[in-house]
């Protein structure tokens, strides 16, 4: 039951991410930073793509994805169409990878120590969903603030 819910939430929020990226009137503003806004929407988008492909795709889906986290924040001017394609690919990876998780696996320990303590797969998957939501809100605010 939780897996189906997570699949639905990840898909919903990743589709909303596409809507946010498409909603920028001026594509160059995807990469804008201003004063205390230190991460551009484009970099946050790349970060979310890398995060989900690594922590869900590589770990549960065994996709072989290799993450380059510094590049998520240093890459610039990736065309909007490429970002959208990467988000669509991520939707598929997340959905397929989550479908491989059993209810018993949810209670098992996530194999990578991400924070300072061990955690269950269930806990980390919920964290990843809220992490996506958090950055999605930042992107929405970034767009309304800098692309007006």
Q: How many residues does the chain have?
A: 148
> CB-side exposure of 112: number of CA atoms within 13 Å?
9
CATH of the domain at 69: 1.20.120.450
CB-based contacts of 128, cutoff 8 Å, min separation 6: 51, 52, 55, 56
The predicted structure's pLDDT at residue 1: 87
**pLDDT tens digits, one per residue of 56-91:** 999 999 999 999 999 999 999 999 999 999 999 999
pLDDT at 120 over 90: yes
Q: What is the mean pLDDT of the chain?
A: 96
Domain with 90 in it = 2-146
pLDDT for the residue 148: 78
pLDDT in tens, 14-65: 999 999 999 999 999 999 998 888 999 999 999 999 999 999 999 999 999 9
Instruction: Tally the domains of the chain.
Output: 1
pLDDT tens-digit map of 76-85: 999 999 999 9
Rounded (5°) CA angle 141-31-67? 100
What is the pLDDT at residue 35? 85
Residue closest to 39 by CA, chosen among 129, 126, 136: 136
The pTM (predicted TM-score) of the whole model is 0.96
pLDDT for position 116: 92
């Amino acid at each position: 039951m939780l897996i189906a819910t997570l699949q639905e939430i990840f898909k919903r929020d990743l589709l909303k991410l596409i809507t946010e990226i498409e909603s920028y009137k001026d594509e160059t503003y995807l990469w804008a930073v201003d004063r205390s806004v230190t991460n551009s929407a484009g970099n946050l988008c790349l970060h979310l793509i890398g995060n989900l492909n690594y922590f869900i795709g590589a770990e549960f889906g065994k996709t072989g994805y290799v993450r380059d986290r510094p590049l998520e924040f240093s890459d610039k001017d990736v065309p909007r169409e490429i970002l959208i394609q990467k988000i669509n690919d991520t939707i598929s990876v997340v959905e397929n990878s989550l479908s491989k998780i059993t209810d018993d696996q949810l209670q098992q320990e996530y194999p990578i120590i991400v924070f300072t303590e061990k955690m269950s797969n269930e806990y980390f998957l919920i964290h990843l969903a809220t992490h996506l939501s958090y950055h999605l809100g930042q992107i929405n605010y970034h767009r309304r603030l800098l692309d007006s």
